[in-house]
């Protein structure tokens, strides 16, 4: 398809598409003559992922370029490509190692991964920014005197594993191999607001059931 069709089908203006091309977020089309290039379904899919990252995920352009670089790196296996892409997404604040709540949180997160039997997460822990985010979040709860330990977290971990399994099942049935890493990255960005909203709605609903509305 031509640039104008790519714009129409994606809902992204031609000016924005040209900007993404210049920034290397979208691979160039196949040049058919000096002034015209041809784009395919892969471009359309990539354009939607770029919009998800930048418009919904508020990811800076340079970060989006790095994330997409990992998605496209076919020298890596699927898990590593996905992991590298997810790790390149903007992360929460780094833990303050001088804070005793951080040390306690790190111990509990370590015990949690052991309880859950998440072997890869344990091995990756020293490198993983996601692991560090969890330590920071648990430390914040513990500073507020929530007795937030491995036993208390384990059922939530099991529920989130159930969510992750459903997501991967969905991807396996709805996406080709080549598309699955793209889809996993888009869903890491787009799915989080769905879960957050469902969680808050569930809190209100269950509160109304237990305590009534008056």
Tokens read off for 17: 């598409």
Query: Facing residues of 37 across strands?
Result: 31
| In contact, 39 and 6? CB cutoff 8 Å | yes
| x/- letters, 101..140, toward a second copy (CB under 8 A) | ------------x----xxxx--x---x-xx-xx-xxx-x
Closer residue to a second copy, CB minimum distance, 37 or 141: 141
Closer residue to a second copy, CB minimum distance, 23 or 41: 41
Least distance in Å: CB of 68 to a second copy? Answer: 15
| x/- letters, 29..48, toward a second copy (CB under 8 A) | -------------------x
Q: How is 157-185 classified by DSSP, letter by letter?
A: HHHHHHHHHHHHHHHHHHS-HHHHHHHHH
Stretch that binds a second copy, among 15-23, 31-39, 60-68, 151-159 (CB under 8 A): 151-159
Subset of residues 57 to 86 that bind a second copy, contact rule: CB under 8 A: 77-80, 82-83, 86
Pick one of 4, 31, 32, 56: the residue that binds a second copy (CB under 8 A).
56
**Site membership for a second copy, residue 178 (CB under 8 A):** no
Q: Which residue do the tokens 């330990």 mark?
A: 149
**Site membership for a second copy, residue 213 (CB under 8 A):** yes
Candidates 48, 55, 139; CA nearest to 92 is: 139
Q: Which residues contact 73 (CB under 8 A, 6 or more apart)?
A: 81, 84
Helix (H, G, I), strand (E, B) or coil at 39: coil
**Measured distance CA(95)–CA(128) in Å, rounded:** 12
Closer residue to a second copy, CB minimum distance, 32 or 161: 161
Stretch that binds a second copy, among 13-21, 22-30, 31-39, 154-162 (CB under 8 A): 154-162
**Measured distance CA(28)–CA(22) in Å, rounded:** 9
């Amino acid at each position: 398809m031509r640039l104008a069709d790519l714009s129409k089908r994606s809902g992204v203006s031609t000016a924005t598409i040209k900007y993404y091309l210049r920034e290397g977020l979208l691979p160039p089309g196949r040049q058919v003559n000096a002034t015209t290039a041809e784009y395919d379904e892969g471009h359309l899919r990539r354009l939607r992922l770029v919009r998800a990252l930048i418009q919904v995920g508020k990811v800076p352009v340079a970060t989006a370029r790095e994330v997409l670089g990992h998605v496209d790196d076919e020298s890596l296996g699927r898990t590593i490509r996905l992991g590298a892409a997810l790790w390149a997404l903007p992360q929460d604040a780094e833990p303050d190692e001088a804070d005793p709540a951080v040390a306690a949180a790190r111990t509990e997160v370590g015990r949690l991964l052991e309880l859950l039997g998440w072997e890869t997460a344990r091995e990756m822990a020293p490198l993983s920014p996601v692991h560090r985010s969890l330590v920071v979040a648990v430390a914040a709860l513990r500073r507020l005197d929530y007795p937030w330990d491995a036993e208390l977290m384990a059922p939530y971990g099991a529920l989130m594993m159930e969510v992750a399994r459903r997501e991967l099942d969905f991807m396996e049935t709805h996406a080709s191999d080549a598309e699955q890493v793209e889809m996993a990255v888009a869903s890491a960005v787009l799915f989080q607001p769905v879960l957050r909203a469902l969680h808050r709605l569930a809190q209100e609903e269950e509160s109304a059931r237990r305590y009534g509305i008056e």
